[in-house]
Structure 1
Amino acid sequence: MTPITEVEGRRLSLSNLDKVLHPATGTTKGELLHYYATVAAVILPHLHDRAVSFLRYPDGPDGQLFFTKNPPPGTPAWVNTTPVPRSDAPGARQVVIQDLPSLMWAANLVVEFHTHQWPVESPAVADRLVLDLDPGPPATVVECCRVALHLRERLAADGLTAYAKTSGSKGLHLLVPLVPAPSEQVSAYARRLAVEAEAALPRLVVHRMAKALRPGKVFVDHSQNAAAKTTAAPYTLRARRLPAVSAPVTWEEVESCTSPDTLTLLMDDMPPRLSDYGDLLAPMFDPAVAGAVP
């Protein structure tokens, strides 16, 4: 029998709570749902008013993975959706996670949460810039941290403030709050930053995606600033062997990183981190911190 629970007045069917999703740690679906309930206060602001895409992994990271933008079949009528301009699907709509019931409904599908860099009220007008630092083996997040520190200084020279989070996989994401600007303009600036970083650190950085160029280097992926692209949201769990989180980190942690293990943050790490730091990405919502794209 599927358990029925009530969340803020909404009735939810929560299924397969004992299913093991991460065999390496024995993490169950029930524990995943508990995680999202625990971090709701910090993840919801990062999802609010943004169309969500889901990477679903209902049988864990070793099972079938499928990426969906459309509202999944059976989406309750009380879950918000919004029209999203998409060249591949005119008239398309996507889910918007605005409250705890919607978050728990989506988490029950076993998903990663991915969002655009723009809010639904202003499609293709970005209020943040993202740089995805992706290491090509044998490079690791340690090399990503070196690149992140370089990019932080480069952004500061343009009056922009960068914040870091783990990707939840092998790399690091840099987020920059912006005075809203067209996604095309933000994309062009992000590409320029990546090209400049490669010129400044040619043995460490590559700005092109070609796999042949990437061994031992950090790919500065600027492409996620395109209006159609999405990035893993802060605090989302990832479909990985371990229940890893795309977790905000301090610049002190970036500066002192000497081993990939130090920036592998799992869901059980998050409650004590939130107790110590709160939401390290809270300044993303402060208009006074946002900078203009040069």
Structure 2
Amino acid sequence: MKKVPVQVEGRDLVLTNLGKTLYPEAGFTKAEVIDYYTRIAPVLLPHLRGRPLTVKRYPNGVGGAFFFEKNAPAHTPSWVRRVRLPVPGSTKDRETIDFAIVDDLPTLVYYANLAALELHVPMWRVSGEGEPLPPDLLVFDLDPGAPATIVECCEVALLLRDALAEEGLDCHAKTSGNKGMQLHVPWTSEVTTSEYAKALAERLARRHDFVTAVMARRERPGKVFIDWSQNNPAKTTVAVYSMRANPHPTVSTPLTWDEVAACDHPDQLRFTPSDVLARVEASGDLFP
């Protein structure tokens, strides 16, 4: 295993297997994954800071076995920020988990080197002392049931945007990097985010026959499922600018509302790492 010592913002890291192909169909290597995350860091890090991290790791590439990792293992460098949080109902019978917090570029590069292709975070942050704070975001996860696609998700996104605007709320759209998309709503209300999101999703489902707010998969074919349950504090959503583990590398990408309104084919809203870097260079962060 070839090792390459590097220094990132004063932190010593050892990068390994940089030539390993993590996306075989695209010939996209670990070095290219690390390069993407390094270059996107100025706009990615503000969305990760303070949020407990869950990663989806693909040590043998997207065609191989993968695993989710919440607990920062013992070999995690001491300079990576960690917070110990309770995890009631853990599937691994843990009372607490030591989550990593990606506050800086060295931590981001460290995880990219572990083939942590996907970065998932909750809609809340921790304080400087590591205490959980109330949600600062509400999320609607739009999941199309075939033959519906992201085109139909865009129709639902516009309905949600207008409904939120009527209540004085702003929202921002992004692709999931897979087949669907998400809307993030900056949140300061005392109302529980899950309660609010469920009520709005159910209201739209009653008004539009191509929308469902029901979890059961038998209800989803040809419809867009508004997954309001992602607002459960124990759940995470893929971070904006995170890569996804598809046969070809894709990215969860911020969208303008003009792009959402104009979408009439799924390929219009499929973005690669190079696409996203070019978009950021031209327009900055489209996800405030």
TM range (shorter): over 0.9
Question: For the aligned residues, what is the CA RMSD?
Answer: 1.2
| Number of equivalent positions | 279
Amino-acid identity (%): 46
> Is 1:254 aligned to 2:269, yes or no?
no
In the TM superposition, residue 123 of structure 1 has moved relative to its aligned partner by 2.1
C-alpha distance after superposition, 1:222-242 (max 9, x if no partner): 111011011101100011111
In the TM superposition, residue 65 of structure 1 has moved relative to its aligned partner by 1.5
In structure 1, the partner of 2:213 is 207
Matching residue's letter, 1:142: V
Distance 1:73 1:32 in 2: 24
In structure 1, the partner of 2:134 is 125
Name the CA shift for 1:90/1:181 in 2 (closer, same or farther; >3 Å): farther
**4+ residue runs of structure 1 moved beyond 4 angstroms?**
none
| Larger deviation, residues 244-253 vs 172-181 | 172-181
Matching residue's letter, 1:219: F
> Is 1:92 aligned to 2:97, yes or no?
yes
> Is 1:227 aligned to 2:233, yes or no?
yes
In structure 2, the partner of 1:244 is 250
In the TM superposition, residue 92 of structure 1 has moved relative to its aligned partner by 2.1
For structure 1, list consecutive stretches of 5 or more residues without a partner in the other structure. 283-294
Other structure's SS at 2:106 match = helix
In the TM superposition, residue 13 of structure 1 has moved relative to its aligned partner by 1.1
Matching residue's letter, 2:111: A
For structure 2, list consecutive stretches of 5 or more residues without a partner in the other structure. none
In structure 2, the partner of 1:22 is 23
Distance 1:158 1:126 in 2: 19
C-alpha distance after superposition, 1:233-279 (max 9, x if no partner): 11000111111101101000000001100000110101210022211
Contact 1:167 1:246 in 2 (8 A): yes
Distance 1:212 1:91 in 2: 35
> Is 1:187 aligned to 2:194, yes or no?
yes
In structure 1, the partner of 2:111 is 106
C-alpha distance after superposition, 1:86-145 (max 9, x if no partner): 112223220001111011001111121111111112526100100000011111000000
Distance 2:37 2:255 in 1: 19
Distance 2:276 2:102 in 1: 21
Note the 1:1-294 alignment, pairs <5 A.
1-87=2-88, 88=90, 89-111=94-116, 112-121=118-127, 123=132, 125-179=134-188, 181=190, 185-202=192-209, 204-282=210-288
Q: What TM-score, normalized to structure 1?
A: 0.92
Name the CA shift for 1:124/1:209 in 2 (closer, same or farther; >3 Å): farther
In the TM superposition, residue 85 of structure 1 has moved relative to its aligned partner by 2.4
Matching residue's letter, 1:109: L
